[in-house]
Structure 1
Amino acid sequence: MSQNLTTIAFDADDTLWHNERFFKLTQDRFADLLRDYVDGHHLAEHLLAAEKRNLGHYGFGIKGFTLSMIETAIDVTDGRVPASVISELIAAGREMLEHTIELLPHAREAVEAVAGTHRVLLVTKGDLLDQERKLAQSGLGDLFDAVEVVSDKTPQVYTRIFDRHGTGAAHALMAGNSLRSDVNPVIAAGGWGVHVPHDLTWGYEVDDAPEDASRFRKVKNLGELPALVQEIG
């Protein structure tokens, strides 16, 4: 096992499998349902504001997103939104909770490659039941030594996880698509943060890359991760 790296952690949504595309499709449907009340651009701003405002109440995930859509629909229509629209939004959220999991390119190969030499973790945030469903459908569950579904990803959370399941953050690497959640807080905790960009990124997760951080790396896709792990040592 590597002297420097003992633990490799992966984000789940939009790192190992597609996720944001379903939010985007539902948001387009949301805009269509409310097109007679507000234009799409301003609706998106209202929805994002509601999502951020509600994170402390509902947490991350589809259920909070659905409740934020309903709240936004009520707000932008001054309470005039028809019950039929609310019903469609609830149905849209339920459909999101049932979508089929589709792995991103190189996901299985990357996890399998590092699992042969390192302790491998899955660290994800969101609704527990939904994350467990997606992991089960992904077929990757048996590859992980531990799975952590957390309410948020902060330096303190990563420190606790890597102390509990590894040999500390200094010997850990986290790979994910979100600079805000998967990269910057891990580096702040003393670990390695590897950015794996995805075409779609939720506005809340957008952040600046820590270009001057010695433990920051970026790969084009997960196919490049095993070689990077070996390079870091």
Structure 2
Amino acid sequence: MSDSNILYSTQNTDPNRGLTPSPKAPSGTCKAERQTILLDADDTLWENNIYFEQAIAAFISYLDHRVHSADEVREHLNLCERATIAAHGYGLKSFRKSLVNCFEKLSDAPMTPEKHDRIVSFTNSISDANIELLPGVAETLAELSKRHRLILVTKGNVEEQTQKLHRSGLAPLFSAVEVLEEKHDTAYRTVIQRHACDSANTWMVGNSPRSDINPALAAGLHAVFIPHDYTWVLEHETVNQPSAGQHLLELARFSDLLLHF
């Protein structure tokens, strides 16, 4: 098994990753039995954060702060985003509020209607962007849906996420869709109960350690980590070690799921 397709065990922990490859674990061990596969959406099935990063770059350039560096402005924006999410949840409207709040905190000049409209305009490319599926997603999901139960488990604004799913053309491949306010272990347990999932045969697939992998493991599920080069900074977190009896796969490509399921 190559380094890009590693099944992790709970022995011989590597302190640099918190995980250790199990060289004896064969690929394709889940193909013989029907599994329930929970799948994240943004930056797992389609591009998402790159559009937010473009908007943030435009915002920082427009602010052109005389004291704070671009990295420092980004740190301020991260704080604003955390506060806005806590008060208003995820989604494009929340992101717009964060940009406006950050500008008001850092700018020496007062906010005007013209400046407000200019800041909001930076986010137009996000809502206008076509859904760009990540490589191999459509073909892989079509094949997996023949053998396994697929459930979309994402978080954010229900209307925004539902629209993106339908625009993606992937909706018919899922037996159910869950749009959560937040992804934590309690939320995953609720999903498990609602859909009568057997934890021993249920996997969460995603790119975010914070929202997809660690809370799913905490809820007793197996997990598949597919890193994305531009995962949102607020989703960064050290990947936890799976408990005894759990499995964690790290794959380089979405299509590698077919090697195991």
TM over 0.5: yes
Once the two structures are TM-superposed, the CA of residue 113 in structure 1 deviates from its matched residue by 1.8
Number of the residue aligned with 2:169: 139
- SS of structure 1 residue aligned to 2:151: strand
Once the two structures are TM-superposed, the CA of residue 224 in structure 1 deviates from its matched residue by 0.6
Q: Is the contact made by 1:33 and 1:85 (CA closer than 8 Å) also made in structure 2?
A: no
Once the two structures are TM-superposed, the CA of residue 80 in structure 1 deviates from its matched residue by 2.3
Structure 1 letter corresponding to 2:53: K
Task: Work out the CA distance in 2 between the residues paired with 1:82 and 1:32.
Answer: 18
Once the two structures are TM-superposed, the CA of residue 2 in structure 1 deviates from its matched residue by 6.6
Structure 1 letter corresponding to 2:115: V
Once the two structures are TM-superposed, the CA of residue 41 in structure 1 deviates from its matched residue by 1.2
Gaps spanning 5+ residues in structure 2: where? 1-29
RMSD: 1.8
Structure 2 letter corresponding to 1:59: G
* 1:2-13 alignment, distance < 5 Å: 6-13=35-42
- SS of structure 1 residue aligned to 2:43: coil
Structure 1 letter corresponding to 2:159: L
Q: Say whether 1:227 aligns with 2:259.
A: yes
Q: Is the contact made by 1:101 and 1:138 (CA closer than 8 Å) also made in structure 2?
A: yes
Task: Work out the CA distance in 1 between the residues paired with 2:32 and 2:251.
Answer: 22
Q: Which is helix-richer, 1 or 2?
A: 1
Task: Work out the CA distance in 1 between the residues paired with 2:204 and 2:164.
Answer: 20
Once the two structures are TM-superposed, the CA of residue 131 in structure 1 deviates from its matched residue by 0.8
Task: Work out the CA distance in 1 between the residues paired with 2:50 and 2:229.
Answer: 9
Q: TM-score, normalised by structure 2?
A: 0.82
Number of the residue aligned with 1:22: 51
- SS of structure 1 residue aligned to 2:260: helix
Number of the residue aligned with 2:73: 43
Cα displacement string for residues 84-121 of structure 1 (whole angstroms, at most 9, x for unaligned residues): 22111222234322211000001112211211111110
Q: Is the contact made by 2:34 and 2:147 (CA closer than 8 Å) also made in structure 1?
A: no
Gaps spanning 5+ residues in structure 1: where? none
Q: TM-score, normalised by structure 1?
A: 0.92
- SS of structure 2 residue aligned to 1:97: helix
- SS of structure 2 residue aligned to 1:53: helix
* 1:2-151 alignment, distance < 5 Å: 6-37=35-66, 38-78=68-108, 80-151=110-181
| The one of 216, 219, 243 aligned to 1:186 | 216
**Which is greater in Rg?**
2
The aligned length equals 229
Number of the residue aligned with 1:217: 249
